[in-house]
Amino acid sequence: MNVLTPRPHRPSDAIEAALDRLVPIFAERAPAYDRSGKIALDNLLDLKEAGLLALALPHDKGGAGIGVAEISKIVGRVATGDPTTALILAMQYLQTGAIARSSGWSEEVRNEVFTSIVRDGALVNALRVEPELGTPARGGLPATTVRREGGRFLISGRKIFSTGSTALRWGVVWSRTDEETPRVGQVLVPLDLPGVRIEESWRHMGMRATASHTIVFEDVEIPERYLVSLKAPGASVDEAVALASWHAIVIGALYDGVARTARDWLVGYLKERTPANLGAPLASLPRFHALLGEIDALLLTNRALIEHGLAREAAGERGDADAGLIKYTVTENAIAAVGKAVAAIGNPALSQDNPLERHYRDVLCGRIHTPQGDSALGGAGRLALT
């Protein structure tokens, strides 16, 4: 299927058709992958065969050049089937979109990565978070180090919370040099090189099938051309920071998708569940009418906020503080929506026999993504008081 020519502001009909076909399949597979904690590789293969992994590449590189509006819509749809697959796909789109727009990447290396995506369905993600540093969004320099030995370049360090770890072909590794005045930036590492290993450290409550394990680099030799953008701290814009508003909107859309699929399950449950003492479905009770109204109000707010963020991006109005508030509010609304469903129906909501239990665990993970709540609120407050 060729889906590489979407219209500007919405996924193409071919992409919509592919999602209509794949999302129910992903939903059927999701419980087993949640239990195993393994990445849904068959989902990723389905996305590759449908042409969906390369959509954020430019047209002349075999992609469709999709922007944040299309990315958020596709990721939100996939998340209604399997949010773990959606998160891996979101990182693929955000990173390939950033590489396509970067002035720091040589054309040779850019083409190498893009060719592998189009030809092989290769996956790429940024590897930034470290055990001691935590998230780099809060400042500091990485401990992961590149050193030169004669004509060789060796990278050593460890990156935690590496989404998609075992399925990735490429890691864009935030690193520093071992020079007296260190340079900082992106280093491209093929993750099949000698010296790269994965520690299976991801044992989280939710989003289990992202396999966001620790990737360890032990004197991994890399070609000089993969030293993508090492510069003095502050000498250039951190491209991950420049992507912050896109990231915030897309992550919000993903967890909104989780809440929407939880809401739809609840509607079906209330229509089907008929307690003997009631003699009618739970859906007949006014208190559940009000509950669905509360949930739908939260999700309607989410939709309006995401559309607001996309409209600002389309108009070229960069507002990272606004984007942070959108991500914070949308994810908190999503958590509240699923929480209301859980509280309303009691034990069945927390049974592994029902998907609402998994949706609740997954949606709680919305809080751990950058920007986290205190950062989003604090940044907006500082801007208002400046």
Question: For residues 283 and 280, what is the distance between their CA atoms, to the nearest angstrom?
Answer: 8
Helix (H, G, I), strand (E, B) or coil at 378: helix
pLDDT digits (tens, 9 = 90+) for 64-99: 999 999 999 999 999 999 999 999 999 999 999 999
pLDDT digits (tens, 9 = 90+) for 237-278: 556 555 789 999 999 999 999 999 999 999 999 999 999 999
Output the six-digit token pair for 255: 């967890």
> Could you write out the DSSP letters of every residue in 49-106?
HTT-TTTTS-GGGTS----HHHHHHHHHHHHHH-HHHHHHHHHHHHHHHHHHH-SSS-
Alpha helices in the chain (DSSP H): 13-36, 41-49, 68-81, 83-101, 107-120, 239-242, 244-272, 286-314, 320-345, 355-364, 373-385
Q: What is the structure's pLDDT at 5?
A: 37
Percentage of the chain lying above the pLDDT 70 cut: 93
Contacts (Cβ under 8 Å, ≥6 apart) of 157? 130, 142, 143, 144, 145, 173, 175, 216, 217
Residue 349 per-residue DSSP state: G
pLDDT digits (tens, 9 = 90+) for 282-316: 999 999 999 999 999 999 999 999 999 999 998 88
List Cα–Cα distances, 240 to 78, 85, 126, 243, in angstroms. 23, 21, 9, 5
Q: What is the structure's pLDDT at 10?
A: 62
Question: For residues 84 and 89, what is the distance between their CA atoms, to the nearest angstrom?
Answer: 9
Task: Indicate the pairing of strand 170-177 with strand 145-149.
Answer: parallel
Q: What is the structure's pLDDT at 239?
A: 61
Contact predicate 183/339, CB 8 Å: no
Output the six-digit token pair for 380: 């907006």
38-48 mean pLDDT? 98
| pLDDT for residue 168 is more than 50 | yes
| pLDDT for residue 152 is more than 70 | yes
Output the six-digit token pair for 194: 């000698």
Q: What is the structure's pLDDT at 9?
A: 52
Question: For residues 240 and 192, what is the distance between their CA atoms, to the nearest angstrom?
Answer: 24
Estimate to the nearest angstrom the gap between the alpha carbon of 332 and the chain centroid.
17
Contact predicate 271/302, CB 8 Å: no
Q: What is the structure's pLDDT at 318?
A: 67
Residue 130 per-residue DSSP state: B
Residue 7: pLDDT band (50, 70, 90) is: very low
